[in-house]
């Protein structure tokens, strides 16, 4: 496994989420497939990314104290899945990878909060009323950016190592079995897709648009 | 319909008010009582930007607002009244104008001379006095940033050793 | 300055929120305005490094307008009032329009493409290109508007098409949710990634998935926690049973 690539990519993904440049390569649907690509198994990344994205959709960065960081966790989960699956996609392992991603995103989110408290110390002498040195202000800002990159790289590579070890050990057991795991992932994906409706005022407000979409979606899923 | 909420919040119209309280109380109108804002059209435009189209924003100075209070309390519209600081709310309440009403402290933030009371409430000494004066006008004073948060009473905001009464 | 605005949240902290990043982004303009006046620059920076918050994509508007006001020699007190007035509104508009509108709409579009059978790289590239066209467009537009109008920017923003966009996005989003749900119920998110090698998922699971989608639609974001816990529970239960047998 290419640990260096995972570390750098994880750093970039974590930074993109809030610090720079927010072009949304930090979304699981982007971060995970690129991870797969880096490791030579893009489709494994697509599997993890699509599922974690469905879970990430309903979380809006509005008005809460802390959020899970889904991007770095998706990178770690994908790396673990690729390492453990050994070139064959297995639904039972995929389920474990997704569960790992959903747990690890909380750890990543907590690290974001920690860095924000650290930033408070970093910038505190600039804020206030004394004279402010422009160079120093710039330096501190760039230091904060670098710190965030380091943080993200660390939680990603740590998570990837943990996931690879954990999934590798659990992989021999087959868990609830491949068929049941695929079914569960199907049900979970469907539930979260439905839950996304709350982003757009729910069923009662948008009946017509939802129905139209449902009809098109039904046709697509039968024809395709 | 009575006035749904009297609130002291430095940020005036912003997310907590519009989304947090707005989705719970469903107001038709938000009145900002502030002497300097009432005269500044460009600032009014900026504050009004964050409001959904179904909520009207109004900006009035203290005198005008005092004249309208009865009308709002008894009129058909659902109203939220905002001020930037405790003192303005006290001016609004003077002479028992807000007797029996509840005033919500929603956000007074850190600045030099202010003491931390809650994560979203910092108070100067004179602001503590104003809060007590508000209570003396028959107003029920408490702090709460969002509708689901815990209601913090005046007695908790001002510890006993600092109380004048 | 526009480029620096991309890192506006880089030093996010609980004390000044994005205040430090705001001063960092504004610095090129301040350097030009206070050329040969290091004390003026230092004072201006001290003023601008204070608490500020906004939506990151709309921050360029506040940067442009404040740069214009500083360049015109506006009273610092007025500039401060401008920043106080604008921070809540820009945050609310951006949250609604981008975080709760444009972003999920683009993501759902990408998921729909993927599940409908498009190549995975196309679905992802489409998301990045379309989403960021809007993202960059918003930054550039808001920056120009701010620079052109200064403190009077509010009136022009009200008259812009923002309200229409805010009305249209939820309709498109609801349509896309409708589109994605049947595809997800039939397990296309798994099939698109080659999981299960084209073997179809048994009808009993599809029925459960359909019910789950309805329940998800009813509870919305509140459904997430229980779904995560259910997955977690079943995985551990499965592993435990295998370990013991």
- State pTM to two decimals: 0.90
The confidence band for C197, taking pLDDT boundaries of 50, 70 and 90, is low
Contacts of C134 (CB under 8 A, 6+ apart): C102, C106
B56 in Cβ contact with B28 (< 8 Å): yes
CA-based R_g, chain A, Å: 20
Question: CB contact, 8 Å: A103 with chain C?
Answer: yes
| Pair type for strands B102-107 and B140-143 | parallel
pLDDT of residue B1: 55
pLDDT of residue C196: 73
Tell me the per-residue pLDDT of B45-102, one tens digit each, with 9 for 90 and over: 999 888 888 889 999 999 999 999 999 999 889 999 999 999 999 999 988 888 888 8
Q: Considering only A120-129, A213-222, C99-108, C112-121, which range has the smallest mean pLDDT?
A: A120-129
With tokens 């982004």, the residue in question is C25
- What is the count of residue pairs from B and C with beta carbons less than 8 Å apart? 62
Q: Considering only B111-125, C36-50, C165-179, C195-209, which range has the smallest mean pLDDT?
A: C195-209
If you measure CA to CA, which chain A residue comes closest to B112? Answer: A128
pLDDT of residue C95 exceeding 90, the answer is: no
Of residues B53, B119, B44, B110, the one with CA closest to residue B82? B44
pLDDT of residue C175: 96
What are the b/e assignments for C102-116, b being 16+ CB within 10 Å? Answer: bbbbbbbbbbbbbbb
Candidates C15, C93, C154; nearest CB to B42: C154
Asked whether the beta carbons of residue A62 and residue B20 sit closer than 8 angstroms, the reply is no
What's the rounded mean pLDDT across residues B24-37? 92
If you measure CA to CA, which chain C residue comes closest to B14? Answer: C88
If you measure CA to CA, which chain B residue comes closest to C84? Answer: B11
Question: CB contact, 8 Å: B19 with chain A?
Answer: yes
pLDDT of residue B24 exceeding 80, the answer is: yes
Question: CB contact, 8 Å: A174 with chain C?
Answer: yes
Q: Rounded mean pLDDT of chain B?
A: 88
If you measure CA to CA, which chain B residue comes closest to A129? Answer: B112
Candidates A43, A60, A187; nearest CB to C212: A187
Tell me the per-residue pLDDT of A14-25, one tens digit each, with 9 for 90 and over: 999 988 899 999
Candidates B18, B47, B109; nearest CB to C85: B47
Chain C partners (3+ C-beta pairs within 8 A): A, B
E-only strand ranges, chain B: 3-9, 29-33, 56-60, 79-83, 102-107, 115-118, 121-123, 140-143, 152-153
Asked whether the beta carbons of residue C93 and residue B50 sit closer than 8 angstroms, the reply is yes
Test mutation, A63, A130, A199, A202, chain B, max B CBs within 10 A: A63
The confidence band for A11, taking pLDDT boundaries of 50, 70 and 90, is very high
Chain A partners (3+ C-beta pairs within 8 A): B, C
């Amino acid at each position: 496994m290419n640990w260096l690539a995972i570390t750098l990519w994880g750093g970039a993904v974590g930074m993109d989420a809030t610090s720079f440049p927010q072009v949304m390569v930090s979304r699981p649907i982007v971060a995970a497939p690129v991870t797969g690509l880096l490791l030579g198994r893009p489709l494994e990344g697509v599997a993890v990314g699509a599922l974690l994205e469905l879970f990430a959709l309903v979380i809006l960065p509005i008005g809460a104290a802390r959020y899970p960081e889904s991007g770095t966790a998706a990178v770690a989960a994908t790396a673990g899945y690729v390492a453990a699956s050994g070139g064959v996609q297995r639904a039972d392992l995929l389920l474990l990878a997704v569960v790992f991603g959903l747990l690890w995103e909380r750890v990543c989110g907590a690290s974001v909060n920690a860095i924000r408290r650290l930033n408070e110390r970093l910038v505190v002498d600039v804020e206030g009323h004394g004279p402010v040195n422009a160079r120093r202000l710039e330096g501190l800002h760039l230091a904060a950016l670098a710190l965030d990159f380091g943080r993200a790289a660390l939680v990603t590579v740590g998570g990837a190592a943990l996931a690879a070890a954990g999934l590798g050990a659990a992989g021999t057991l087959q868990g609830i079995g491949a068929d049941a795991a695929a079914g569960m992932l199907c049900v979970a994906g469907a539930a979260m897709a439905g839950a996304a409706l709350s982003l757009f005022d729910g069923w009662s407000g948008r009946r017509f648009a939802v129905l139209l979409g449902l009809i098109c979606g039904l046709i697509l899923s039968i024809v395709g | 319909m009575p006035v749904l909420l009297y609130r002291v919040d430095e940020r005036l119209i912003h997310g907590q008010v519009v989304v947090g309280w707005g989705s719970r109380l469903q107001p038709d109108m938000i009145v900002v009582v502030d002497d300097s804002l009432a005269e500044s059209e460009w600032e009014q435009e900026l504050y009004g930007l964050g409001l959904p189209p179904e909520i009207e924003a109004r900006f009035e100075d203290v005198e005008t607002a005092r004249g309208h209070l009865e009308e709002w309390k008894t009129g058909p519209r659902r109203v939220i009244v905002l001020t930037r600081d405790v003192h303005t709310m006290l001016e609004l309440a003077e002479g028992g104008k807000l007797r029996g009403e509840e005033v919500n402290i929603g956000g007074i933030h850190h600045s030099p001379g202010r003491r931390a009371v809650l994560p979203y409430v910092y108070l100067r000494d004179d602001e503590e006095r104003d809060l007590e004066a508000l209570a003396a006008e028959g107003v029920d004073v408490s702090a709460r940033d969002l509708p689901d948060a815990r209601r913090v009473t005046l007695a908790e905001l001002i510890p006993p050793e600092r109380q004048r009464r | 300055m526009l480029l620096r605005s991309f890192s506006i949240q880089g030093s996010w902290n609980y004390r000044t929120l994005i205040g430090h990043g705001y001063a960092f982004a504004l610095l090129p303009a301040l350097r030009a305005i206070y050329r040969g006046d290091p004390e003026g620059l230092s004072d201006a920076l001290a003023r601008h490094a204070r608490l500020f918050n906004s939506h990151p994509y709309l921050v360029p508007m506040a940067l442009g307008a404040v740069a214009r006001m500083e360049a015109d020699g506006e009273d610092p007190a007025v500039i401060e009032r401008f920043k106080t007035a604008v921070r809540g509104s820009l945050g609310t508009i951006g949250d609604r329009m981008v975080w709760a509108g444009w972003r999920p709409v683009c993501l759902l579009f990408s998921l729909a493409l993927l599940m409908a059978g498009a190549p995975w790289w196309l679905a992802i590239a489409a998301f990045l290109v379309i989403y960021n066209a809007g993202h960059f467009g918003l930054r550039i537009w808001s920056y120009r508007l701010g620079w052109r109008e200064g403190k009077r920017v509010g009136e022009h923003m009200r008259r812009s098409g923002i309200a229409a966009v805010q009305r249209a996005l939820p309709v498109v989003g609801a349509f896309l949710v409708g589109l994605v749900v049947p595809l997800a119920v039939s397990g296309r998110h798994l099939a698109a990634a080659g999981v299960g090698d084209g073997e179809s998922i048994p009808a009993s699971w599809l029925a459960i998935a359909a019910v789950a989608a309805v329940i998800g639609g009813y509870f919305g974001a509140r459904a997430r926690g229980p779904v995560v816990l259910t997955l977690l529970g079943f995985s551990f239960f499965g592993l435990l049973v295998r370990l013991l047998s």
